[in-house]
Amino acid sequence: MDLFDHLDKPPLPFCLPGQDGYKSGWSDEISGYHITVPNGQLFYSESFFSKTVSDRCLEYFQDNFNFNWRDVNWKDISDVARVNFRNIHWKQDRIKLYGKDLPLPRLTSWYGDPGRCYTYSGITSKPNHWNDGLLYLKRMIERCFAVQFNSVLLNWYRDGEDYLNWHSDDERALGENPTIASANFGETRDFVLRRKDDKAQKLVIPLKHGTLLVMSGSLQHFWEHAVPKRKKVSGSRFNLTFRNVRL
């Protein structure tokens, strides 16, 4: 190896277990790490999106006709449906849990090609029409990976009390071994992966402002993931998971 090879390569900001089946390799072409885990693959790029693009996304996702998005505390808004957002049709779905009808602990929105409805946790979402901002991000990712996406799920974690429970993206509509690209903007939140057959086997991956994480291979069959609460986080984090939904 040449002395100056990968001189600008940032260190992987999380630890991989030292046991067999885990390895990582840097890609100069797309400035990120290809990561192999038992029964799956990941790609991690800490700064896939530039600061300019990432900062613009924060404005794009929150811009509305009611408030100055820079000043509003979104947890104080009791009915998000009454906010007239300029770009994203945000909603707060409800889920039945232990016999109770509860609001999801985050806001969501679903965009995609016509007819690409998506059902998870008993919630069925019909796609909003693509807009220029979401298409721009989608095409940035598609240029680097041999996959075309037809839909995206947006999650808005308004602060560290908003979270996502353990689950796998293994719905039949996503296909046998789906490739899912996760774009992240705003506050850093931990994305935790754990083996379904050995819950002590975990990866804790910090998803930062501008980070891209791609999950592929058979990962969804053998691993599950979550975004746990982080009480010290006071600001918003936006996560967009681009995927392919089959008709």
Tokens of 63: 């811009």
What percentage of the chain carries pLDDT values higher than 90? 88
E strand or H helix that includes residue 55: helix 51-62
Give the Cα separation of 233 and 187 in Å (integer).
7
The CATH number assigned to the domain with range 23-65+82-243 reads 2.60.120.590
Give the pLDDT of residue 165.
95
Give the Cα separation of 234 and 73 in Å (integer).
10
The predicted-structure confidence for 49-79, as pLDDT tens digits, reads as follows: 999 999 999 999 999 999 999 999 999 998 9
* Predicted confidence (pLDDT) at residue 5 exceeds the cutoff of 60: no
This prediction has a pTM of: 0.94
Give the Cα separation of 209 and 186 in Å (integer).
5
The predicted-structure confidence for 82-112, as pLDDT tens digits, reads as follows: 999 999 999 999 888 777 888 999 999 999 9
* Predicted confidence (pLDDT) at residue 121 exceeds the cutoff of 90: no
Among 31, 30, 33, CA closest to 22: 33
Q: pLDDT category, 238, cuts 50, 70, 90?
A: very high
100 Cβ contact list (under 8 Å, min separation 6)? none
* Predicted confidence (pLDDT) at residue 246 exceeds the cutoff of 80: yes
Q: What is the mean pLDDT of residues 189-208?
A: 97
Give the Cα separation of 94 and 212 in Å (integer).
28
Map residue 56 onto helix, strand or coil: helix
Give the pLDDT of residue 7.
55
Give the pLDDT of residue 1.
44
| Mean predicted lDDT score pLDDT of the chain | 94
Map residue 167 onto helix, strand or coil: strand
